[in-house]
Amino acid sequence: MNAPGAFKAELIELLPSLRAFARSLAHNSAQADDLVQDTLVKALANVERFEPGTNLRAWLFTILRNHYYSQLRKLKREVEDADGKFAARLAVRPEQDGSVDLEDFKVAFSQLAPDHREVLTLVGASGCSYEEAAQICGCAVGTIKSRVNRARRKLADLLGLDDEGQPIPSEGRMIEDTASV
């Protein structure tokens, strides 16, 4: 193990990105911080397993991810839009100015499957390489690349973007959640 002071300093430095990664998986800040808290407790309990000189960020992200999916399996929690709030929100967007409101983006992002949220966050926001993301997710680099592409397509679809990245006017869009009602 590294010297405790240096190890702790590195942990503190990584906390903001660990929280941001947790927020991309969990659905609220309290749940995300619980996830980070559990991750830290697990990391400290297993600190002797961490090899100095290896990637601490990947190690922590992997612990967090594994814990998240473990909890998800236990709770069998499914993300859904049962009350149609998300569909309604997209349907009533007042202006189409060629940009995407960040809050709308967050809502759309939250509708993605967890494995799509995690790869987009790792590769698109946290600065992980495809190789590092593959290490964290425990899969092949090619799998990460194709998953990222599918996630982007899905997100663009949820945001109602056309091929030029422009929001499609609501009267011409399919509101999938209500189409079968």
Euclidean distance between CA atoms 145 and 179, whole angstroms = 31
Stretch near another protein under the rule CB under 8 A, chosen from 36-44, 49-57, 66-74, 75-83: 36-44
Instruction: Kindly tell me the burial class for residue 163, based on how many C-beta atoms sit within 10 Å of its own C-beta (0-12, 13-18, 19 or more).
Output: exposed
Phi, psi (deg, nearest 5) at residue 92? -105, 15
Name the one residue in this structure whose structure tokens are 């992200």: 61
Residues 56-115 that bind another protein (CB under 8 A): 99-100, 102, 105-106, 109
- Please identify, using beta-carbon distances, which residue of 66 and 110 lies nearer to another protein: 110
6 lies in the site for another protein, by CB under 8 A: no
- DSSP states of 12-68: HHHHHHHHHHHHHHSSSHHHHHHHHHHHHHHHHHTGGGSPTTS-HHHHHHHHHHHHH
Residues 42-61 that bind another protein (CB under 8 A): 44
121 lies in the site for another protein, by CB under 8 A: yes
133 lies in the site for another protein, by CB under 8 A: no
Instruction: Return residues touching another protein (CB under 8 A).
Output: 4, 7-8, 11-12, 15-17, 19-20, 23-24, 29, 32-33, 36-37, 40-41, 44, 99-100, 102, 105-106, 109, 120-121, 124-126, 146, 149-150, 152-157, 161-165, 168, 171-175, 178-181
